[in-house]
Structure 1
């Protein structure tokens, strides 16, 4: 497991641009046309429209079409279209783990950063040869203090069968659930022990743990106190607190798995120039700041103007930054199908 030294990253924001390769200084010209964006639905899709599509790209004459679906069917679609000269989607929104997986599958473009002028401000840790980090956060325990006492300290406390049907899971977060369960079973020593993770999860299943299909369905269950404890990205906790949902966040003692959401360009994208335009637009300061406000995620470019009180809520303390852990993307890519099959056919059965 590799630790991400976010303290160094955050303290070095103003100098990060110097670490990026030389960029083209010419203006990024637009010529209209269309771009198809593969993304999750719900809040994320809505905020892409609000903060990127409407204010930046549509005034330049670019039509944005969203292909909304979970990441698993979109990845399957990318693979199925691999041999086509022209695919049906230009840009795909994926987690860092899934960006890695799709790069290994040979279906994504190796990026030409000279076509993304705003990448000169990109944090070095968010710059991949095959994708661009858009926003990041960390996986934390979320709980309702009214229902869960004493306050949990980590993943082991979340996955304690004593909470019974007050334990919640989000279906689309199965990978992060496996990681948390492995860390709970090993005291944070191993993120990839699938056998021990399954033991932990089956004990919770027998105790009455509930699975919700989407983030929004889970939020509704938290709001009406149907459930009281789970794990989610810290950004989501902030978003739900803003919506009046009774919840608090705890950074797990076992370690904080990092979450990066980013974008890749399909190798056979039919509108490749506009795909690059989209990546450039998402790195503008205005939408990056807006996602911090609207969604509680940390931005991936330097020089953002985020209110100190908000930064305190969405970010991490220096001690917590030391506990941020990058994921083993190669392991997740190799085992994703098996994890999803067990999750669907055994845990959810």
Structure 2
């Protein structure tokens, strides 16, 4: 049935619209309010979210923030288990780039655009996607103790030098990126990690040390049990500030990006507040705070870092233009088999 507007009804609607515009509000979208549930990692990261996003930006809007703290594999499992429900338990999920791609490929995430998240217009092109915001990023580099590793490394292949046998460390939870790095020096690529397996078995024979977490690796570097490893540049900056005796080297194979992202499940209970939270996370002040406190680079182009801070957390412009990105489709298809090989063959 076709609906017709009377002159009176049209006048009332127009008046309402003008009144809304006069108040400076979007006539279609409601103002964010209520509670937003952020599924995220805990610790310092969650504290920084509270101090730099929730308290100064969301609370004055009338939005309360609560946290669902766990690792990202738990969040992915929860999103998948709840995706057919009318309402899920999270409004925002913090995920790695691989995790958000996997959830989007399974139809579980809301598509984003500048109408929902205006600050997306400032996001660096290399980091932008249609289903998540990049909250912070860094690159994969080599960390080494110059007291033990006399010559500054130039390649991932330097970890296989005989003189470093027994002093090379890898991290269990970083199985995917470790296999990838080994593949890059063994004839593989970002879409073919297979050559990295034989390369890592050779490292195993040399007495590689496997640590369960990033924190365990930091302790091993501090005590000089480990002298060289593959790690995210941001962690290197943090550990240097903590007094751990390490330097940072950029591998000639290229710098692979690590991106920490935030996404909104399709069945989020409070989407307006979720979009407001994502927009706040891309504001210059929170972006600068995460650079200062955690060593990650801002994901937006409208942040002016102090020169000394920029020199620590950002790679030179010529390197930034040559970042390597993981192929998320390849990883979605191979991750389970990579983890199985790592557990059974490399660790076993």
State the TM bucket, normalised to the shorter chain: 0.7 to 0.9
Change (3 A) 1:26 1:304: farther
Change (3 A) 1:103 1:199: same
Change (3 A) 1:190 1:250: same
1:121-132 equivalences in 2 (<5 Å): 121-132=122-133
Change (3 A) 1:312 1:85: same
Shift of 1:222: 1.5
Confirm or deny that 1:339 pairs with 2:331: no
Q: Secondary structure at the match of 1:114?
A: coil
Q: Which residue of 2 aligns with 1:34?
A: 35
User: 2 CA distance for matches of 1:337 and 1:88?
Assistant: 26
Q: Secondary structure at the match of 1:249?
A: strand
Bigger Rg over Cα: 2
Q: Secondary structure at the match of 1:298?
A: coil
Confirm or deny that 1:109 pairs with 2:113: no
Structure 1, unaligned stretches of length 5 or more?
1-24
Shift of 1:195: 2.5
Change (3 A) 1:96 1:162: same
Q: Which has the higher contact order (CA 8 A, sep 6+)?
A: 1
User: 2 CA distance for matches of 1:247 and 1:63?
Assistant: 41
Q: Which residue of 1 aligns with 2:327?
A: 328
User: 2 CA distance for matches of 1:324 and 1:318?
Assistant: 10
- Would the aligned equivalents of 2:113 and 2:120 in 1 still touch at CA under 8 Å? no
User: 1 CA distance for matches of 2:184 and 2:197?
Assistant: 12
Change (3 A) 1:216 1:63: farther
Q: Deviations over 1:8-53 (max 9, x none)?
A: xxxxxxxxxxxxxxxxx95797553222222223332332223222
1:186-265 equivalences in 2 (<5 Å): 186=187, 190-265=189-264
Q: Which residue of 1 aligns with 2:299?
A: 300
- Would the aligned equivalents of 2:35 and 2:273 in 1 still touch at CA under 8 Å? yes
Q: Deviations over 1:102-134 (max 9, x none)?
A: 111111111243122222322233321111111
- Would the aligned equivalents of 2:186 and 2:196 in 1 still touch at CA under 8 Å? yes
- Would the aligned equivalents of 2:143 and 2:236 in 1 still touch at CA under 8 Å? yes
Q: Secondary structure at the match of 2:115?
A: helix
Q: Secondary structure at the match of 2:94?
A: strand
User: 2 CA distance for matches of 1:238 and 1:80?
Assistant: 37
User: 2 CA distance for matches of 1:347 and 1:66?
Assistant: 36
Q: Which residue of 2 aligns with 1:69?
A: 70
Q: Which residue of 2 aligns with 1:16?
A: none
Q: Which residue of 2 aligns with 1:133?
A: 134
Q: Which residue of 1 aligns with 2:99?
A: 98
User: 2 CA distance for matches of 1:344 and 1:70?
Assistant: 19
Shift of 1:89: 1.5
Q: Which residue of 1 aligns with 2:314?
A: 315
- Would the aligned equivalents of 1:182 and 1:192 in 2 still touch at CA under 8 Å? no
Change (3 A) 1:26 1:295: farther
- Would the aligned equivalents of 1:70 and 1:172 in 2 still touch at CA under 8 Å? no
- Would the aligned equivalents of 1:141 and 1:158 in 2 still touch at CA under 8 Å? no
| TM-score normalised to structure 2 length | 0.85
| TM-score normalised to structure 1 length | 0.85
Superposition RMSD on alpha carbons, in Å? 2.2
- Would the aligned equivalents of 2:32 and 2:272 in 1 still touch at CA under 8 Å? no
Q: Secondary structure at the match of 2:166?
A: helix
Confirm or deny that 1:143 pairs with 2:136: no
Of stretches 288-297 and 49-58 in structure 1, the one that deviates more from structure 2 is 49-58
Shift of 1:230: 0.8
- Would the aligned equivalents of 1:179 and 1:192 in 2 still touch at CA under 8 Å? no
Change (3 A) 1:209 1:61: farther
User: 2 CA distance for matches of 1:285 and 1:93?
Assistant: 19
